[in-house]
Amino acid sequence: MNPSEARSEAALATVCPSDPEVLYFGVWVQIPCRSVPDRRRSNHPFGACEVAFRGSLVRWLGSRGPDHGQAEVYLDGSLVDTVDAYAPQAQASQVLFETQGLEDGRIHTLRIVVRRERHPEATDCLQGIDSFEVESVADYPRELRAMAMDELKTIAVGGKPYLTPDQWEPVAYAAEAPETGVQLHPGVLRDAFERNIRYILDTAANPCTGFWVEGLPASSEGRVLGAAAHSLRWEEREDLRAIVDEIVETVKQRQDEDGYCLPYDRSYMVAQMHGFDDERRNYDRVNLTRGMVAAGRVGNADALPVMRRFYDWLNASGIYASLLAGPRDGSGSNCNNGHEGGLLMYFSPVGKPEDVVALKRYFVQDFFIEQMRRAEPLALCYYPLHTPHSYVLLAFKAWLDHYRATGAAKYLDAALGAWEVVHRYYEHVGGSIAICEEPKGAYPPQSYLLTRHTGETCGSVFWADINHRLLQFFPDRESYAAEIEKSIFNVILAAQDANGHIRYHNHVHRKKDPPTRVNTCCEVMGAPFIARLPQFVYSIDDEGLWINLFAASRVAWTHDGKDVALDMATEFPYDGAVASSIATPTETTMSIRVRIPSWVAEPVTVTVNGEPAATGTPGSYVHLARTWQDGDSLRLVLPMDFRVTPYTGLDHSPSQWWEPASVVPKHRYALSYGPLLMALAGTKSLDLSPDELAQALSPIEGSPLHFAVRGRDDCHFEPYWALGEGEMTCFPALR
């Protein structure tokens, strides 16, 4: 042993299983033995134990025995080992995992996850936590909160450092979404778009009242204004134009001389004890900003000047110092929502550097940026400045806008780390976000809870917007387009009913949530998002066009001074055939890049004018660079097939701690068809193995994308988005 190892050994601290720094997720039970009175055990599949520490070394001491199975060991979020704790005879306090040489100066996390797999002779899959040995233990939730409170104190006195505008180096998108020029043709997305217009017109003609409107009236204005204005980006309608003009005029008429224009006294711009009252200063303010900026984008002459005066008042008012903090333990209700307002203004035609400077001084949370830069999943479920839920994702969205405005690398690094955290730890198989409003730690990493409120529609709106920003920065990264596709087909469309009403949650087990038209936050986010659907299909750069999603549509744009267009004909997702044609007045040299989705099982060939032109691998873009003639066509077929994914969350049919895992023979699985999450209607379990499931399914004649189960007349699979009322599950139990 060298001297440094000797010092480490002497300095090690023992962490007992019941110490508050040790976090447990799932079913863990204290089962003492003579030598280890504080032992914790679990045979609950995917139950997890996590400890945070500082220093270069960590050890996990646990039990072995004939009833023990395998466990995955994660260090700082990365899988580093799979431990088999089986032994013919019981053994206590064995070193099951050890590592050293870790980076000093940061909090590390060691996570142990119970697996179902076990040695052929093992009778169960138990794991035991006898102790941990570390150089210094850390209470992660407490220390995260301390970091936040320290930063809030600095913010409150105006002492937070920031980049001044002369230091900014803005970063342009590599390929931008079209602002106008996309028309959806009849198909799934067009249907959703038209239902949303019915929702807007119904809301304008028959305004809703009650809890959500009376408490948050500015968000109600922003909801209708944003949905109507974004719809006008793609096609002009007198009825929608009248709605936009009427709401903008209402806001203009109530604006004070100094610029304040919200529909209540300005005293609400400081912290309030009542939750809805406190949300007015951030949530309500920014939702009105979203709607007014959208109205300005489609030509209303008053919308942007009104909001410019309002943000001039806000930037100079001194109120920003209180917008992030709140009355209860330093947290502000939906505080991250308040971040976007200044960014919306900055990127509008009337933007000023002061809009971003105020945010850098008062809203940017460097403690959170650092944790996300390290892709620390606990930082999301223990977020200290508000109840952890989908609205925390708005911080990640804002960081990408800060990167675009200033070029500061910390924002991009943090946003990319946050993407990994959400994608790996808080996203259901179908793409919905697996976290919601409950106490801190209630939705731990990889819990993927099915029987609590998850799948909040707001979360998928934010997730799609985050991925859309990343796709515009990195247009060749197919994974971002895939996430947008999942969000739209498996959440946004699923949240909308035939009247355009919108569900708050998208439950993937038991029953769907009732849809509403009462100004819930998910309506406020969902209705304008559906009005923006055309912008997600294509991206445009100096070289040409990117096809990101597959929807019957037409896009027209200017390339190298020429007006060109592409028409896409497809019945996707009912059929994987996609045919596009080019319209150009004269021959045009440009590139067209076509997404080959990661969910296809094999390479896809794209033909041009009937001849093979290129073959793309799953998860990439095919690059077609050529001189195009008017009428040129390109075609491809996207083979859709079934994919079965095991459920790795905590909502299994749990065994009791005294029962061996073998008494629970079934395990949950999700079934996907192409990008579509499928729901099983009529039952919640099948007497089939995962390998047998796809072979047991057959199309139901007359019901596209509906599949019968061999030998079962009482149930069927259909896309979750299309599912109506009644019992269902997207995670049926299979044997």
CB-count burial class (<10 Å; 0-12, 13-18, 19+) for 6: exposed
Q: What number does CATH give the domain 146-174+185-536?
A: 1.50.10.10
Q: How many residues does the chain have?
A: 735
pLDDT(534) > 60:
yes
E strand or H helix that includes residue 219: helix 217-232
Percent of the chain with pLDDT over 90: 89
Lowest-confidence segment of 213-227, 261-275, 572-586 by average pLDDT = 261-275
Cα 649 off chain centre by: 17
Q: Span 520-524, mean pLDDT?
A: 98
Contact 621, 593 (CB under 8 A): yes
Contact 448, 648 (CB under 8 A): yes
Answer positive or negative: Cα dihedral of 117, 120, 122, 124.
positive
d(CA 437, CA 331): 14
Q: How confident is the model at residue 699 (pLDDT cuts 50, 70, 90)?
A: very high
Nearest alpha carbon to residue 721 among 422, 489, 481: 489
Q: Span 112-123, mean pLDDT?
A: 94
Q: What separation, in Å, do the N-terminal and C-terminal C-alpha atoms of the chain show? A: 51
- pLDDT at residue 6 in the model: 45
pLDDT(309) > 90:
yes
pTM for the full predicted model: 0.96
Distances (CA, A) of 645 to 57, 302, 670: 35, 51, 5
Contact 46, 649 (CB under 8 A): yes
pLDDT(36) > 70:
yes
Given this chain, do its domains 146-174+185-536 and 544-637 carry the same CATH topology? Answer: no
Distances (CA, A) of 471 to 119, 539, 599: 44, 9, 18
> Any idea what the Cα angle at residue 62 is, between residues 57 and 68, rounded to 5°?
135
Contact 83, 29 (CB under 8 A): no
Q: What number does CATH give the domain 3-138?
A: 2.60.120.260
d(CA 682, CA 697): 15
3-state secondary structure 51-107: EEEEEEEEEEEEEEECCECEEEEEECCEEEEEEECECCCCEEEEEEEEEECCCCCCC
Q: Which residue ranges make up each domain of the chain?
A: 3-138, 146-174+185-536, 544-637, 642-734
Distances (CA, A) of 143 to 136, 149, 174, 379, 382: 13, 10, 39, 11, 11
Contact 672, 645 (CB under 8 A): yes
Q: Span 661-684, mean pLDDT?
A: 86
Model confidence pLDDT, tens digit, residues 440-490 = 999 999 999 998 889 999 999 999 999 999 999 999 999 999 999 999 999
Crossing angle for the helix pair 285-297 and 303-317, to the nearest 10 degrees: 140
Please name the residue that has the structure tokens 């801190």. 440
Superfamily of domain 544-637: Golgi alpha-mannosidase II (2.60.40.1180)
Tell me what the pLDDT averaged over the chain comes to.
94
pLDDT(10) > 70:
no
- pLDDT at residue 130 in the model: 96
Q: Give bridge partners of residue 611 from the DSSP assignment.
A: 608
Model confidence pLDDT, tens digit, residues 187-213 = 999 999 999 999 999 999 999 999 999
d(CA 55, CA 58): 8
Note if the bond before 573 is cis, omega within 30 degrees: yes
pLDDT(330) > 80:
no
d(CA 491, CA 530): 11
- pLDDT at residue 728 in the model: 96
